[in-house]
Structure 1
Amino acid sequence: MAYAANLRLKGSRFHFRRKIPYNLVERFGCSEIVRSLHTGARRTAVVRARAVGLAPDIATSA
């Protein structure tokens, strides 16, 4: 479960979190990407985190 490392539990919901490399922060305008996965179930969160992590527009859909 490689994407389990990118999961954070906030309250009762899981969030996907990925840090942006320092040399790209200026380009993207933020230092990390955080997206709610809209679930409290860890197994579902891992599946959704995989999809979010592979999305090509992850940093631009803020």
Structure 2
Amino acid sequence: MSEVQLQDLEAQIEALKSQLTGDMFADMEVRDKIHNLEMKLKGVKPMDSSIDCIGCGS
């Protein structure tokens, strides 16, 4: 992943974090998006490779 792509992912994560309200249920969808972007950023894949990850597409 290029430096520009990494910076773009980090910017998206920060933008989503600014939308958090503190209400766990209201924030669930935003937190899921943050989690998926962080997995892409860190190159994390699901442990069971027989199952495709919907969030990161691995």
TM range (shorter): under 0.3
Which structure has the larger Rg over C-alpha atoms? 2
| TM-score scaled by length of structure 2 | 0.25
Q: Which has the higher contact order (CA 8 A, sep 6+)?
A: 1
Structure 1 or 2: more strand by fraction: 1
| TM-score scaled by length of structure 1 | 0.25
Structure 1 or 2: more helix by fraction: 2
